[in-house]
A and B are shown apart, each in its own frame.
Chain A
Amino acid sequence: MPKTDLYAGLGLMAFGLITLFVLIPAQTSDGGDATISPALLPQLCAIAITGLAVLLTLQAAGKIKRGKAAGQTVPAAEWASSAAVIIAVGVGVLLFKYVNPAVAAGLLILGLMLYMGERRIYFLIGIPAVLLIGAWLLFYKLLGTAIG
């Protein structure tokens, strides 16, 4: 998949350079009297990632030039499903923080079930209820910890 490799290579090159020249200097101290700078390993990794990303980009560009550009793409359904999962979990976190843990968990499960096409009312009510009661029994009663 040379085209996706080309994009991945370019993205990683940018990531490596930003890490090396912006993030590491801004987010790492010089170490003062330390014999070895705290930035040593992150810098080595960033340099190596950038170098390898250049190789990946060149390799992919070469393949495209030779006419081997065909490759697999991510199906639209998978983009949509990944976005749905992220949105559901994100909304769940917000509800957890600002409303109630039980409401957040219940709506997270319910939302995903509806998204996946489940319409049977007894499952839509039963599964979140069983899970919430099960989690409460397991974590609050049996293991003695608390969520929320």
Chain B
Amino acid sequence: MLEELSSVAGSAFAVGNLAWIFFGVTLGYLVGALPGLGKGTATAVAIPLTFYLEPLSAIAFLVGISKGSTAGSAVSAILLNTPGEPSSTPTAMAGYPLARAGKAQKALKMGLFASVLGDFFSTIVLILIAQELAEYALGIGPVELTAILAFSMVFIAGLSGRSMIKGLIAGLFGILVSCVGLEVETGSPRLTFGLIELYDGLPLIPVAIGMLALAEMMTQIGQRQRLLDEADLLKGSSKREDQIVTLDDWKKCFRPILRGSLIGTVIGILPGLGASVGSFLSYGAERRASGRGADFEESGAIEGVAAAESADNAVVPASFVPLFAIGIPGSVIAAILISAFVIHGITPGPLLFLENKELILGVYLSMIAAGVILLFVGYFGQNIFARIVRVSPALVMPVVVFLCCVGAYLQGGGTFGIGVMIIFGIIGFFAKKYDFSFVTFLIGFVIGPSFELSLRQSIGLVTNASELIDHPVAIVFAVMAVVGVWRLTVMQRKQMAEMAKSQTN
């Protein structure tokens, strides 16, 4: 592996590629630091910038953005108590009290170090296991693939929201929407309403920008006043030990970072769980281990920041494992990255390691380079980013809406793309408000064509139920899907009952 990696080091560490990574990380950090903006918005809006880049630079740039924005969201979480996305909520819980006590610099620095370490750990795991998994996945036939995709959808639907029913509806709606366009076998138009623009199907980028970015802007613009109110509560400190990470801090945080990296990596590999589950689990584990109880949030905890940030950042690289190995996007970032691969004529999945091995190795090295650049940008740009979080939303949000329109226009065939973006922005807004997982919808939309193709091939291969005996792997995944529906529904009911009980108390 090391020999193979060193053979592509020249292209991955070329000045041009590193410059795009640097640009991506800085842009991502900037967007992540702005209150209310997250990595999904940042990556979706940036895709149009990659159309004319070489595939490696394009993917490296987007990876840089996702890493930068994941780490950057800790800035607004710690300084304003306003997480850029839900996965930074534990960071806000542990870090904002520290900021109010004059230790913002310390919390920001430890958040950055934990982010970089979690990200690095997860990237190494990705490099070590994705290819092995892909080699196994090459032996999978259409019947097995259909069962695996069905199982993945159930798993994602069950874990990405609070209701299995709503999750399944969102996923099925995504698959239904992916049916728009020319049908694969007969070439006849399907659900196109006579619009030639729809013959190639709904374009992914305007759909993703609408569901992720525009819907988010519609919500955030309505909450504009709240975004800056918390900033007034901060106070500064002149003590040096409040501004740096001391050896004592490292002693406190070493174990939480290690645990958080491990939790984030495992959660990232499992499709659909997402960064929020990772950061909350890691934060919860650290809170229990500290034995401080409610004081953990009241006084703030540097180890809480480290636990949450390491897990949050470990999720993204690990979520590329199912994407690279099987072609199943395990997260929003992975789903968006699929479109970047497709734009450059590359199909994610097990064949990636046979047909585009150099590219994928280049991506691995770019991810490591992005981690180092992230440390550099985050550390030296900390004071600038700390000021940026105070920029008025009235200046930021209109710019993001403008960038959404540009992205949808470029990838969606002109104003038609903007129209698609508006429609899916409205759907995304309602999905957010009524708790239907837009992540599950997007993943259903992305895997829909593969699911249909493998389903059709399976129906051709298996003409009666007894022939399924020849496909034991498919049977195992089908049974796991059914058991998954049952178990996850029971789990969600218990959680809802506990929530209702705690609300009553």
> Is the pair B409, A28 in contact by a Cβ cutoff of 8 Å?
no
* Contact yes or no, B169 A77, CB < 8 A: no
As a 0/1 sequence over residues 25 to 60 of chain A, the CB contacts with chain B under 8 angstroms (1 = contact) are 001110110111011111001101100110110010
In the bound assembly, the distance between CA atoms of A33 and B175 in angstroms comes to: 25
A121 within 8 A of B: no
Determine whether B380 belongs to the interface, using a CB cutoff of 8 Å to chain A: no
Nearest CB in chain B: distance from A133 CB, A: 13
Q: Tell me if A's interface is mostly helix, strand, loop or mixed.
A: helix
A78 near B169: Cβ-Cβ < 8 Å:
no
Which of A27, A46, A116, A138 has the most B CB atoms < 10 Å from its CB?
Answer: A116
Closest residue of chain A to B448, judged by CB? A41
Tell whether A27 pairs with B193 under 8 Å between CB atoms, given A55-B165, A116-B393: yes
In the complex formed, the residue of A with least CB distance to B190 is A28
Inter-chain contacts of A4 with B (CB < 8 A): 433-434
A contact residues around B140 at 8 Å (CB)? none
B183 touches A105 (CB 8 A): no
- For residue A24, CB closer than 8 A to chain B, the reply is yes
- Residue of B52, B425, B435 near A144 (CB, 8 A) is B52
Q: Which of A27, A105, A116 contacts B190 (CB 8 A)?
A: A27
Question: In the complex the two chains form, is A147's CB within 8 Å of B406's CB?
Answer: yes
Q: Indicate which residue in B193, B222, B448 contacts A80 across the interface (CB closer than 8 Å).
A: B222
Tell me the smallest distance from the CB of A45 to a CB of chain B, in Å.
4
Identify which of B49, B179, B393, B460 gathers the most chain A CB atoms within 10 Å of its CB: B179
Nearest neighbor of A106 in chain B, beta-carbon distance: B402
List the B side residues contacting A38 at CB < 8 Å: 183, 185-186, 188, 190
Using CB atoms, name the residue of chain B closest to A108.
B402
Given contacts A4-B434, A144-B52, A145-B52, contact A105 B402 (CB under 8 A): yes
Judge whether A112 is part of the interface by a CB distance below 8 angstroms.
yes
Q: Are A85 and B221 in contact (CB under 8 A)?
A: yes
Flag A84-116 by CB within 8 Å of B: 1 or 0 each: 111011101100110000000100111111011
- Nearest residue, chain A, Cβ from B433: A74
Given A35-B460, A144-B52, CB of A88 within 8 Å of CB of B401: yes
Assess whether B394 is interfacial by the CB under 8 Å rule: yes
Chain B 185-205 per-residue mask, 1 if CB under 8 angstroms from chain A, else 0: 110111111000000000000
- Is residue A125 contacting chain B, with contact meaning CB distance below 8 A? no
Contact B166 A56 (CB under 8 A): yes
Contact of A32 among B186, B189, B415 (CB under 8 A): B186
Q: Is B455 at the interface (CB under 8 A from chain A)? A: yes
Contact yes or no, A52 B175, CB < 8 A: no
Number of interface residues of B (CB under 8 A): 64
> Closest residue to A46 on the B side, CB-wise?
B176
Known pairs A38-B185, A49-B176; A147 contacts B410 (CB<8 A): yes
Whether B395 contacts A52 by the Cβ 8 Å rule is no
Q: How far is the CB of A146 from chain B (nearest CB, A)?
A: 10
Q: Given contacts A29-B188, A116-B393, is CB(A77)–CB(B176) below 8 Å?
A: no
Q: Is B214 an interface residue (CB 8 A)?
A: yes
Q: A56-B166, A74-B433 are in contact. Are A86 and B175 (CB under 8 A)?
A: no
Q: A89-B405, A89-B418 are in contact. Are A82 and B191 (CB under 8 A)?
A: no
Q: Does any Cβ of A come within 8 Å of B142's Cβ?
A: no
Enumerate chain A residues within 8 angstroms of B188, measured Cβ to Cβ.
28-29, 31, 38
B252 partner residues in chain A, CB cutoff 8 A: none
**Assembled-state Cα–Cα distance A59/B493 (Å):** 12
User: Which residues of A sit under 8 angstroms from B459, Cβ to Cβ?
Assistant: 35-36
Q: Looking across the interface, which residue of chain B has its beta carbon closest to that of A109?
A: B398
Given contacts A48-B172, A92-B405, whether A27 and B221 have CB atoms under 8 Å apart is no
Interface contact B192-A49, CB-CB below 8 Å: no
CB pair B172 A82 closer than 8 Å? no
Residue numbers in B under 8 Å from A79 (CB-CB): 222
On whether the beta carbons of A49 and B169 are closer than 8 Å, the reply is yes
Closest Cβ of chain B: how far from A51's Cβ, in Å? 10
CB contacts (< 8 Å) of B402 on chain A: these are: 105, 108-109, 131
**Contact between B51 and A78, CB atoms less than 8 A apart:** no
Contact B397 A112 (CB under 8 A): yes
Give the distance to chain A from B300, nearest Cβ to Cβ, in Å: 28
Is the C-beta of B456 less than 8 angstroms from some C-beta in chain A?
yes
Taking the nearest CB of chain B, how far is it from the CB of A43, in angstroms? 10
Residues of B near A75 (CB, < 8 A) are 222
Say yes or no: is A1 at the interface (Cβ < 8 Å to chain B): yes
- If A34-B185, A81-B222 touch, does A93 touch B401 (CB 8 Å cutoff)? no
Identify which of B176, B192, B436 gathers the most chain A CB atoms within 10 Å of its CB: B176
Interface set of A (CB-CB < 8 Å, partner B):
1, 4-5, 8, 12, 19, 23-24, 27-29, 31-32, 34-36, 38-42, 45-46, 48-49, 52-53, 55-56, 59, 68, 74-75, 77-82, 84-86, 88-90, 92-93, 96-97, 105, 108-113, 115-118, 123, 127, 131, 135, 138-139, 143-145, 147
Can you sample 27 A-B contacts with CB below 8 Å?
A: A1-B434, A1-B435, A28-B190, A28-B191, A42-B176, A42-B179, A42-B190, A42-B191, A49-B173, A52-B169, A56-B163, A59-B165, A77-B223, A78-B219, A78-B433, A81-B220, A85-B214, A89-B214, A89-B401, A96-B415, A109-B401, A111-B398, A112-B397, A113-B395, A116-B393, A116-B397, A143-B49
